[in-house]
Structure 1
Amino acid sequence: MKVKKLEDIIGTEKEVSDDNWVSRRLLLQEDNVGFSLHDTVLTAGTETYIWYKHHIEAVYCIEGEAEIETVENGETYRITPGTMYCLDNHEKHYVRAITNFRVVCVFTPALIGDEVHDEEGVYRAPE
């Protein structure tokens, strides 16, 4: 059994960030559970381009509000607390945080832990 507290992740190498977001990585590849689990906050007023070329991501909003726009068809989705979305077709998309936007994210395959989006919005392929 694994038990982890968010307060024990904050300020460690398992708290990863860029200019738009901070991701607290609770479960990673090293935990050997087949997925990774993240508590992530996107900063109000930011726009992030993302393409999970090598991963499937499910996202559950617990605080705040954002808009997701899929690049292929330009569809937009308003995300508020209690809403889940899943990028199950590797959709290229924008996340526009209207307020500070706190979500719980699950990735498969699991992330190693230090990933940030490259110039294409991609996390590197799993090893």
Structure 2
Amino acid sequence: MIIADRAELQGTARDASGEGWTSLRLLVRSDGMGFSMTETQVLPGAVLRLQYKHHIEACYCIGGAGEVVELASGKVHPISAGVLYAPDAHDRHEVRVPSGGDALHLICVFSPALEGNEVHGPDGSYPMG
């Protein structure tokens, strides 16, 4: 049985952050589940250009509001509580959160699992684990 208490994970190697985002890694590769789960916040005013070349991801919004832009087509998808997005084909995308509002609060699942302390590289991806 795995029990992950966010209060105990904060401030550890599983509490990752970068410009415009924070991500608490609730499940990681060493937990042996085959996927990882994060509690992620995209901060107000952030524009994150991402492409997970080595992972697939699903993100479920539990608070805040923003948008995801498919960079190949320019299609814009509003994201708010209750909406899931999943760049299932390693899609290049941007996550945007307007300034002056609340952070976009997401629960994200990655496959394969993250090590736990990754940050985005210059191309917007995490390294292959």
Q: Same fold (TM over 0.5)?
A: yes
The yes-or-no answer on 1:29 pairing with 2:26 is no
Shift of 1:113: 1.0
State the distance in 2 between where 1:21 and 1:9 align: 17
State the distance in 2 between where 1:115 and 1:16 align: 7
- Structure 1 vs Structure 2 CA RMSD: 0.7
Structure 2 unaligned spans of 5+:
none
Q: Deviation per CA, 1:81-124, whole angstroms, max 9, x where unpaired?
A: 00011111100000001331110000000001111111111110
State the distance in 2 between where 1:38 and 1:121 align: 17
State the distance in 2 between where 1:4 and 1:114 align: 16
Secondary structure of 2:30 counterpart: helix
Mapping 1:42-57, distance limit 5 Å: 42-57=42-57
State the distance in 2 between where 1:94 and 1:85 align: 12
Shift of 1:3: 0.9
Cross-structure match for 1:8: 8
Q: Deviation per CA, 1:39-85, whole angstroms, max 9, x where unpaired?
A: 00111111000000010000000010011001111101000000011
The yes-or-no answer on 1:122 pairing with 2:125 is yes
State the distance in 1 between where 2:79 and 2:34 align: 27
The code of the aligned residue for 2:10 comes to: I
Instruction: Percent identity, please.
Output: 38
Structure 1 unaligned spans of 5+:
none
Relative to the length of structure 1, the TM-score reads 0.96
Mapping 1:58-73, distance limit 5 Å: 58-73=58-73
Question: How many residue pairs were aligned?
Answer: 126
Shift of 1:12: 1.1
